[in-house]
């Protein structure tokens, strides 16, 4: 016998009801925001993630599933969605078809990290990318979309951490000040942070190990240029006007190299130490860095397992069968099956017994499934061409001809 691989998870029918509800809610809200779905491949060329996600990130350094195919190419199972979406955006020249795009995906991702509650090596992400606008209102729309989804899922108590990472104009001064500050603390920092000191000092602020040593670090918010200050002000003011709960957090940098200006993270405190359920931000330079034109963009990704964890034990109402056909004998089974298929084609959810249960056991199964009606066919009913339709709530029974339209009319 084989077991599933560590870090993967089977989604069994009982749990899949929640997944279906989650995905349906995401698609409903995406439609309200006029966001279109995009589907991208499971694996990409490895260099795509080095170029976009960042060579110095934990994802690229430690967590990617990379392999060499028979053609000698280095390929990687996608650890995140944005690089693949941007690659597709450029490959198919979507910017030449129209200047503004809103795209969403629901995809499997793969990261070789330590499995824990709500975090797996194969996991699902829901993400949105808005490409073609530098407006701060786009940043807020992304945040608003997530909060709308969480509200519909019944997830309460979530708030947003927000920061600005500035732009290419103001970030160099901050980087210089941060390096000067960190210079005297290098002996206290972990090995990863000492390595990042030269390559990407901002990522040191994201380190959980050294957080206590960096409480008095310079803040990017104090180095913003006038344009970035105004962008950030509009984001904050609009969040306030929409009554979206948020906290400004100058230590928030996110774990990817491509972010500029606004970054945000969704926090659900009841999840404990692992309280983040997703995040995102603006990446105005990523498309150009990947060989495309200078097009601004912003996006987010949400861990769907984390969202389900935040939903708790919420019961999802499952659509019940309207009719369960109770068949007594082989002839009745064949006749029931024909009627059953007719009901389904007419748009009525219906089922029957396939394992030879007694009438009493079939009625119990109809009850277990929550069927609203049973339609009983035995030898006598076949002779008359009339079955017995029973209302499972009231117990009321009536004789109804063995005709799909007539049965449908009586149960409506």
**Annotation: binding site:** 80-82, 111, 125, 129, 254, 258-259
* Residue 370: both structure tokens together: 């929550």
Q: How many CB atoms lie within 10 A of CB 47?
A: 12
d(CA 78, CA 107) in angstroms, rounded, equals 9
* Residue 322: both structure tokens together: 């309207």
d(CA 166, CA 178) in angstroms, rounded, equals 14
Going through 53-204 in order, the beta strands assigned E by DSSP cover: 65-68, 74-77, 101-110, 122-131, 159-164
Cross-strand partners of 300: 128, 280
d(CA 280, CA 286) in angstroms, rounded, equals 14
Please name the helix (run of DSSP H) or strand (run of DSSP E) that holds residue 304, with its range, or none: helix 304-311
Owner of token pair 């053609």: 71
Q: Which long-range contacts (CB under 8 A, 24 or more apart) does 64-70 make?
A: 64/110, 64/111, 64/112, 65/110, 65/111, 65/112
Do 387 and 376 form a contact (C-beta atoms < 8 A)? Answer: yes
d(CA 255, CA 305) in angstroms, rounded, equals 19
**Annotation: binding site for L-histidine:** 80-82, 111, 125, 129, 254, 258-259
């Amino acid at each position: 016998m084989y077991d599933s691989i560590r870090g993967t998870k089977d989604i069994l029918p009982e749990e899949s009801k929640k997944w279906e509800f989650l995905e349906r809610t995401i698609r409903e809200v995406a439609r309200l925001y006029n966001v279109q779905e995009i589907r991208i491949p499971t694996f990409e060329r490895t260099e795509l993630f080095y170029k976009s996600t960042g060579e110095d990130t934990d994802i690229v350094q430690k967590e990617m599933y990379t392999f060499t195919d028979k053609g000698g190419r280095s390929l990687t199972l996608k650890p995140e969605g944005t690089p693949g979406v941007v690659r597709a955006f450029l490959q198919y020249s979507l910017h030449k078809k129209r200047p503004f795009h809103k795209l969403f995906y629901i995809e499997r991702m793969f990261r070789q990290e330590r499995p824990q509650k709500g975090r797996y090596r194969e996991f699902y992400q829901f993400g949105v990318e808005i490409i073609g606008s530098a407006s701060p209102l786009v940043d807020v729309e992304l945040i608003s979309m997530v909060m709308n989804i969480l509200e519909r899922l019944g997830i309460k108590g979530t708030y947003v951490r927000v920061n600005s990472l500035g732009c290419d104009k103001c970030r160099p001064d901050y980087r210089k000040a941060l390096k000067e500050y960190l210079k005297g603390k290098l002996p206290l920092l972990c090995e990863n942070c000492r390595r990042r000191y030269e390559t990407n000092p901002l990522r040191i602020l994201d380190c959980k190990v050294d957080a206590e040593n960096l409480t008095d670090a310079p803040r990017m918010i104090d180095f913003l240029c006038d344009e970035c200050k105004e962008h950030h002000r509009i984001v904050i003011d609009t969040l306030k006007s929409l009554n979206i709960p948020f906290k400004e957090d100058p230590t928030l940098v996110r774990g990817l190299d491509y972010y500029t200006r606004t970054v945000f993270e969704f926090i659900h405190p009841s999840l404990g130490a692992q309280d983040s359920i997703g995040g995102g931000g603006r990446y105005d330079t990523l498309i150009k860095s990947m060989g495309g034109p200078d097009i601004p963009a912003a996006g987010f990704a949400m861990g769907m397992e984390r969202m389900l964890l935040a939903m708790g034990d919420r019961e999802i109402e499952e659509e019940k069968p309207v009719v369960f056909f109770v068949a007594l004998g082989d002839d009745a089974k064949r006749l029931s099956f024909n009627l059953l298929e007719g009901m389904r084609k007419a748009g009525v959810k219906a089922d029957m017994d396939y394992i030879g249960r007694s009438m009493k056991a079939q009625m119990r199964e109809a009850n277990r499934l929550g069927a609203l009606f049973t339609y009983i066919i035995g030898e006598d009913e076949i002779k008359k061409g009339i079955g017995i339709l029973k209302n499972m709530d009231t117990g009321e029974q009536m004789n109804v001809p063995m005709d799909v339209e007539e049965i449908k009319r009586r149960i409506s």
